[in-house]
Structure 1
Amino acid sequence: MLDSNKTWPQYAAVMTALIAMVNAGIHFGWPSPSVPKILSSEYKFNITSSEASYITIIGPFGDIFGSILYPSLIDHIGRKKTILLIAIPQITSMGLVYFSFLSKYLLYVARFIGGLAEAACFTILPVYIGEVSEPNVRGVLGSLFSLVFILGVFIVNIIGSYVTIHTAALLFIILPVTFACLFSRMPESPYYLIMKSNLQEAESSLRALRRRDDVRQELERLVGDVNRQMSEPGSYKDLYRIQSNRMACLIMFGLRVFQQLSGTTAISLYMQIIFAKSTDVMAKDLASILIFGLQLSVNFTAVLIVDKIGRKPLLVISCIGCACNLATLGLYFTLQEVVRMNLARVNFLPLACVVFFTISFAIGQGNVVNLMTSEMFSSSIKAKATCLMNILFALFMMSTTKFFQLTADSFGMFVPFFFFALCQIVGALFSYYIVPETKGKSLEEIQQKLKKT
């Protein structure tokens, strides 16, 4: 008889599912080392700067379609089966990148299909993580979501910088295959099984996740929570009609918007180009690897402190830190591009600012926003809410990336940096006055708090 609770099975289930998120990070970060390659003579076909920007941002178009498709599946075939389906577009995407030596247009298709998988990861994985985790470990497990995403970005910047895009694509196919093999052995979410009135399997799932024989008390509590949440209307209109849903949408939509208005996507995708234009302190590929390695380390630190410091303080600190470093970058490029000042003595500054921007972003917005996605919505509306959230996320990801490219090319690099800095100041105020603290609360307790807000 196993009487005491174990948490390692929850870690095993979440970490196995998050292999898909590593590959999403690889897809997201692919342009950083790859765009300079496809713009050079190394690539077989002639690619213009404009074409490269569209290859970069077509991935979020896939995010939009994936955000519509996958939420409709998770309540019908289940969290586990829908997550397993992520492997198909991930394998297909990298396969098409490999075969892009036949036609450059395969890169567009590959990025779009990869976006479908990325949307599935952002839509489904937070739901699964929140539902298989107990409150005392949910903060850590939810934070791993961001950590492994950055791990994927880090991996693609290392491998992608030193091998051809075709060789890299073959290597990256290994991950989704491994993910599908391992995750197929993990349990289904007990929340989903309760939603389908399959209490016997829900009890078996809880036993596997808690590594404990007697889970009747927790099962009865979850049945009550899920039944109450499912008794609420669950249409798209109810996201705005019901007080708790409306408040959750305001909070999470706001956090997603300000997360992208930090310019993090544009900076990540154009990082090697930014360094090439501003500094010769170190090679652009080494600089980008350093930045993403640092982001990986900071995200790991955030995993350890998010349940100690809390979500809200980390968000405020993150926004303020991002604003300061973005403003400094804006000032640097103003002096370089407008004043034409010789900045040779301080040409380390762009690298330093991106380093501290990375730390600031990772400690809060890069970690907490994804974690809170798994906490804020009730079972009746979670799929639809995450669908809209990820559409919004994709739209702003495309918009900020294209905004960066257009304003930097037309007016100067200083314009987007000053704009993003201003947005982060507003984001800090939003986080301080609007965002609630969810540390240590069960999913039901969070819902009750939102009703009283």
Structure 2
Amino acid sequence: MKILMRADTHYSIVVRDSEYEKPNYTFSQVLAAVAVSMGSMIVGFSSAYTSPALVTMQNSTSISVSEEEASWVGGLMPLAALGGGLIGGPLVDYIGRRRTILFTAVPFFVGWILIATANIVHLVLAGRAICGLCVGVGSLAFPVYLGETIQPEVRGTLGLFPTAIGNIGILLCYVAGKYLDWSQLAYLGASLPIPFLILMFMIPETPRWYISRGRTEEARKALQWLRGAHTKIDNEMREIALSDAEAGKESPITELLSKKYMKSIFICLGLMAFQQLSGINAVIFYTVKIFQMTGSSINEHLCTIIVGIVNFISTFIATALIDRAGRKILLYISSVTMTLTLMILGTFFYVRDNLNLDVTTLGWLPLTCVMIYLLGFSLAFGPIPWLMMGEILPAKIRGAAASICTSFNWLCTFTVTKTFHNIIVAIGPSGTFWLFGSICFVGLFFVVVCVPETRGKSLEQIENKLTGRQTTRTRRMSSIANIKPLPSGC
């Protein structure tokens, strides 16, 4: 097969079907996804901790916690995570993605031990702050690491592992919280960083970070480990090197505020905003209290466990669908589902509190709405903003931009979590859930207009599309490179 090329391309394209083997779920990639996701389990446990723990903490004789202090126990973790997001960006760029994740394990352990052994609320707050810093760093570094190590065709599925295993952390906290008090639950939290630390020692740094530091041989070894011993990696190595070389031409001073990068950052910020302003963390942090407010005859701790199970199962549904249906269609379904359930939940409270009607026969409705709401959230708006942050942020600004997006996410989380009680007092439960539902409805239009589909695309293809940059010459020939040899009879 002859290929006519412009004289100035200086590339010789050799087409071999064997060099473009069908990607698969290699053990190495799955191990990397699971290792990173163990950190996400700690994040999930940390987020859910206050839901069962605050109830026993406020009734405890060993520690005194006021209503205001309790709100800070819930709100300080996402506030500290904001700071963690800010320092995480420089860390993933300077010391590496893997090492940044690895360094969160010991502080996680220390934070949980402080909470478990506390006899005054200030030690609890200190422990929550330390865990919050690690949550912020980890929630930034996890998607960046996975985005740079997993093949495009399976990146959606394996990229949802942090959310899936993070939901196991939430479920574990809810189930254990039914039987353990706040201190015992914190000791359980302190045990989670141990397997996380062990697994992180078993995986390599990302090839892209090695390339950015000029450590080509180490990059090749890491990529070969990730793709499998018998997989040809020359084309992917060349692609990563060219992408890094192209990124290196940009001005380091103005790169983050460059107009061509604004679209990627804006999309990430928008997804993060709609994710958190949907009220999800208010539901996760205060699940028990929400069910206490409904007056349902179903035990609130049982409701919480059911909610955790639904949250856990729904992520696996998303994992099965994301590389088939794509990101956008799942975001559409997620937005509509959350909007409808929040509006119905708000209406339930309005009928009960403002119209003074008897709703005892509808005691099942709040639990059903929260279950379907979490199903919709976990299907897309929970995992996809984090997944897409690792996909659509350009390589040159990935660390700094991910830092901004993560910090913004946790700022929104803190705002919703800390003000949830105040909003309920100001506009009532019905107005609060209607407000969150309206935000989800606006989020649907944001997805329709602004969010691109990234399914099955390499990081270089996504970056080229969003920045409007012409693809590198090797990438411009990708369609040729993927052409299989014609039968000899043609």
TM-score normalised by L of structure 2: 0.88
On the 8 A contact 1:142/1:374 being kept in 2, the answer is: no
Q: Does 1:233 align with 2:248?
A: no
Is residue 57–residue 181 contact of structure 2 (8 Å, CA) maintained in 1?
A: no
Query: Once the two structures are superposed, what CA deviation does each residue of 1:347-399 show, in whole Å capped at 9, x if it has no partner?
Result: 21111110111111111101211211110111110111111111111111111
- The normalised TM-score by structure 1 is 0.96
The 8 Å contact of residues 256 and 393 in structure 1, kept in 2 or not, is answered as: yes
Deviation at 1:96, TM superposition (A): 0.6
Pick from 285, 288, 304 the counterpart of residue 269 of structure 1. Answer: 285
Greater Cα shift, 27-36 or 222-231: 222-231
Query: Counterparts of 2:348 and 2:338 in 1: how far apart (Å)?
Result: 15
2-structure distance, mates of 1:240, 1:171: 43
CA drift of 1:43 comes to 4.5
> How many Å separate the matches in 2 of 1:112 and 1:375?
29
* Residue number in structure 2 paired with 1:200: 217
Counterpart residue type for residue 313 of structure 1: I
2:138 is the alignment partner of 1:96: no
Using the alignment, how far apart are the partners of 1:233 and 1:131 within structure 2? 23
1:117 aligns to 2:134 (yes or no):
yes
The aligned counterpart of 2:264 is: 248
Query: What is the match of residue 50 of structure 2?
Result: 31
- Which consecutive residues of structure 2, in runs of 5 or more, have no partner in the other structure? 1-17, 470-490
Indicate the percent of aligned positions where both proteins have the same amino acid: 27
Deviation at 1:161, TM superposition (A): 2.2
Bigger CA drift: 333-342 or 165-174? 165-174
- Partner Cα distance (2:291, 2:241) in 1: 54
State the match for 1:145 in structure 2.
Answer: 162
CA-CA distance at 1:234 after TM superposition: 4.2
Q: 1:415 to 1:402 in 2, by over 3 A?
A: farther
Question: How many residues get paired?
Answer: 448
User: What's 1:19 paired with?
Assistant: 38
> What is the CA distance between 1:169 and its match in structure 2?
1.9
SS at 2:94 equivalent: coil
1:373, 1:190 → 2: CA distance?
Answer: 18
Match of 2:104 among 86, 105, 110: 86
Which amino acid is the alignment partner of residue 449 of structure 2?
A: Y
Q: Which amino acid aligns with 2:379?
A: I
Deviation at 1:46, TM superposition (A): 2.5
Instruction: State how far apart, in whole Å, the 2-side matches of 1:167 and 1:407 are.
Output: 32
Contact 1:233 1:380 in 2 (8 A): no
Q: Using the alignment, how far apart are the partners of 1:128 and 1:281 within structure 2?
A: 45
Is the 8 Å Cα contact of residues 36 and 162 (structure 2) preserved in structure 1? Answer: no
| 3-state SS, counterpart of residue 456 of structure 2 | coil
Aligned to 1:10: 29
Of residues 310, 331, 335 in structure 1, which corresponds to 2:347? 331
Whole-angstrom CA distance in 1 between matches of 2:355 and 2:107: 48
Q: Give the distance between the partners of 2:183 and 2:316, measured in 1 at CA.
A: 31
- Give RMSD over aligned pairs: 1.6
Structure 1 residues 286, 361: closer, same or farther in 2, change over 3 A?
same
2:455 aligned partner: 439
The letter of the residue matching 2:389 is: T
- Displacement of 1:218 in angstroms is 1.8
The residue type paired with residue 145 of structure 1 is: P
Distance in 1 (alpha carbons) for counterparts of 2:106 and 2:73: 21
The reply on whether 1:46 has 2:64 as its aligned counterpart is: yes
State how far apart, in whole Å, the 1-side matches of 2:169 and 2:387 are: 18
The one-letter code matched in structure 1 to 2:169 is G
Q: Larger Cα Rg: Structure 1 or Structure 2?
A: 2
- Structure-1 separation of matches of 2:262 and 2:333: 26
Distance in 2, matches of 1:109 and 1:43, equals 20
